[in-house]
Structure 1
Amino acid sequence: MSDLADSYRYCGAVTAEHGRTYHLATRLLPARRRAATYSLYGFARTVDDIVDVDSEGDAADTAAELDRIEAMLRLCFYEQSAIGSRVCPSELQRVLPAFVDTVADFDIPHDYFFAFLDSMRMDVPGTPSHRAEYETMSELRTYMYGSAAVIGLQMLPILGTTGRVDEARPHAAALGEAFQLTNFLRDVGEDLDRGRVYLPARELSAFGVDTDLLKFSRRTGTTDRRIARALAHLISVTRSVYRSAEPGIAMLDRRVQPGIRTAFVLYSRILDEIERGDYRVLERRAVVPRRGRWATALPQFARLALPSRRWGRDERRI
């Protein structure tokens, strides 16, 4: 039990270090669901980091590493234990007990995680599925299904719904996409440094923007007005995805709605910060100021403090 508790604590630390906005919002979740959310984040973040670091070296080695991770997952899911940790990368060993426990406890479909690994393979240069750029939004959505939409779908069993799960799924998938599109807009410069452009080429070209212009602006620390106009358009597209996702919040268990609402608002405010910074994402990273994060979260904490017979008891297994 101590190994499992340590694993959950480690996943919480990973979430706090790498996802400040996300971590703040998850503090509004009941304890068991919060811990489960940390375990999923810890797994996804660790695999993503392995791909980012290893893809700078030999692509074949990185692809083989992803194959080993997939084999490890299949073994763990079959055994319903972290037995596969002995063959997984060391970076995953501390995450795996909490992750496997969460997947089994909430009966999360395993295919979601294999779809995630398929999208990670698309980030590895030299592999058959690699994509450094995406021509259309439709092509990007193929990538985002495994890298973002399934994250929202994984969360549904943890969060719980008040009605039919199949009605909530499209909204959960849209929320995952909205969060990732926000990340793509915020991280254009960092992604360029890794040899990737996630913003669809056709959307950019409509404003006279191509990869060479993005690289020039990154290198010189300037933002061409054509880039600003393209980003403004893509922010509008992303906000439309948020609008598609929003009705799903009311379909969730009442106890988790404040946390998801907070994440929804805080992440969408990153778009506001990009606009407020005159679209200079190639020079600096847009973040919601700490004061703004707490101003959003505190009313939701207060809401949770109100008694409600319908909310029931908090789960405290971890």
Structure 2
Amino acid sequence: MAHARDSIAKGSKSFAMASTLFARQTRERAWLLYAWCRKCDDLADGQDHGGAMASVDDPQARLAHIRALTAIALAGQTTGDPAFDGLALVAAECHIPASLIHDLIEGFALDAQGWQPQSEDDLLRYCYHVAGAVGCMMALVMGVDPADDATLDRACDLGLAFQLANIARDVGEDHAAGRCYLPADWLMEMTIPTDNMLQPAYRARLAVLGKRLSVMAARYEASARHGTPALPFRSAWAVLAAAGIYGDIARKVAAKGGHAWDQRVHTGKLAKIGWIIKAGIQSRRRARFGQGDAIRQGLWTRPR
């Protein structure tokens, strides 16, 4: 637990702040899940609790290592790595299906292949693997019934919103690491070359795509809010705070236009505190969100 607490404190100030709103047991379970996700991400990308990605020359070996340790943990055996042993604990306590855990690992497998989305549907499928599946696991950590597909769908939507915000923010960092998560057909539509997309001549066009990602993130964020009536008050508070804090990242990318990638966009501490206050009010009134099926019209649906 100490390892998991330190991992989220170092790896994500936004998620660490939002997690303090959970009840203690939920908070600690969320930390355990985060620590495993963070460790897998770091192993796959050559990172240390996020930050700049490093080029790795053995992506398939790293993926095999993640798969092997995860399999040992899910089999109930000790791995000696607190991140993987913590996964075993939270998966058992919260009845997290192995299929969701493997869905996340498939996202790392796509990266290991040097994959780039060709279409918007490809992009959303990737977002599901690396973040939507985590949203579903977090819903189970918060006590959602595994048979409650409507609420799990909303949890998936929040994961998609977070990842779309990440992709919008990290276009420059991903480019430096030799990656691109902007669909190839988007780049073709805007006549932006993949290898020189950050050059001044293409910044205005790239800003159009940054705004498109922001609009998509906002739609999934809005849909995700309609799952909060199924959550306990403190869990809904944490979810709504995280949604607002992370949503601001996508909104800032859209507002900065072609300058969005001059320096890393983030949500400041005062803005985070503001969202915690607003989320507390929203959580007390969350019944008005309902399940919001109508808002999902035209949105991507998670695989069953």
TM-score when normalising by structure 1: 0.80
Separation in 2 of the partners of 1:65 and 1:226?
36
Q: Quick check: 1:143 aligned with 2:138?
A: no
Match of residue 5 from structure 1: none
Q: CA deviation digits over 1:24-52, x for unaligned, max 9?
A: 11110011111111111111111111111
Q: For 1:148-227, list aligned pairs within 5 A.
A: 148-161=131-144, 165-217=148-200, 224-227=203-206
Match of residue 297 from structure 1: 276
Match of 2:62 among 59, 62, 65: 65
Match of residue 71 from structure 2: 74
Q: For 1:274-313, list aligned pairs within 5 A.
A: 274-298=253-277, 300=279
- Asked whether the 8 Å contact 1:162–1:251 carries over to 2, the reply is no
Q: Quick check: 1:121 aligned with 2:116?
A: no
Compared CA separation, residues 248 and 204, structure 1 to 2 (3 A): farther
Question: Larger relative contact order (C-alpha < 8 A, sep ≥ 6)?
Answer: 1
- Asked whether the 8 Å contact 2:204–2:257 carries over to 1, the reply is no
1:301 shift after superposition: 6.1
- Comparing 148-157 and 136-145, the one that deviates more: 136-145
Q: CA deviation digits over 1:176-205, x for unaligned, max 9?
A: 111001000011111111111112122233
1:140 shift after superposition: 1.8
* AA partner of residue 186 (structure 1): R
- Secondary structure at 1:278 match in 2: helix
Q: CA deviation digits over 1:271-304, x for unaligned, max 9?
A: 2222333342322111111111112114556899
Q: Quick check: 1:108 aligned with 2:102?
A: no
* AA partner of residue 154 (structure 1): M
Match of residue 37 from structure 1: 30
Separation in 2 of the partners of 1:145 and 1:162?
20
* AA partner of residue 270 (structure 1): I
Match of residue 56 from structure 1: 55
Match of 1:84 among 79, 82, 90: 79
User: Hey, which bits of structure 1, 4+ residues long, moved more than 3 A?
Assistant: 161-164, 298-305
1:156 shift after superposition: 1.4
- Secondary structure at 1:95 match in 2: helix
Q: Quick check: 1:242 aligned with 2:239?
A: no
- Asked whether the 8 Å contact 1:122–1:131 carries over to 2, the reply is yes
Match of 1:257 among 225, 236, 240: 236
Aligned-residue RMSD, C-alpha: 2.4
- Comparing 196-205 and 160-169, the one that deviates more: 160-169
* AA partner of residue 79 (structure 2): G
TM-score when normalising by structure 2: 0.83
1:212 shift after superposition: 3.1
Compared CA separation, residues 17 and 179, structure 1 to 2 (3 A): same
Separation in 2 of the partners of 1:208 and 1:153?
36
- Asked whether the 8 Å contact 1:187–1:281 carries over to 2, the reply is no
- Asked whether the 8 Å contact 1:188–1:281 carries over to 2, the reply is no
Separation in 1 of the partners of 2:120 and 2:282?
38
Compared CA separation, residues 52 and 163, structure 1 to 2 (3 A): closer
- Asked whether the 8 Å contact 2:79–2:85 carries over to 1, the reply is no
- Comparing 137-146 and 16-25, the one that deviates more: 137-146
Compared CA separation, residues 301 and 27, structure 1 to 2 (3 A): farther
Separation in 2 of the partners of 1:123 and 1:164?
31
- Secondary structure at 1:69 match in 2: helix
Question: Which structure: larger Rg?
Answer: 1
Gaps of 5+ in 2: 48-53, 285-304
Q: CA deviation digits over 1:123-156, x for unaligned, max 9?
A: 12xxxxx144211011122222221111011111
1:163 shift after superposition: 10
1:171 shift after superposition: 0.9
Match of 1:268 among 247, 257, 275: 247
Q: CA deviation digits over 1:247-292, x for unaligned, max 9?
A: 1122222331111010111111112222333342322111111111
Separation in 1 of the partners of 2:23 and 2:14?
17
Q: Quick check: 1:20 aligned with 2:4?
A: no
Separation in 2 of the partners of 1:215 and 1:303?
39
- Asked whether the 8 Å contact 2:254–2:260 carries over to 1, the reply is no
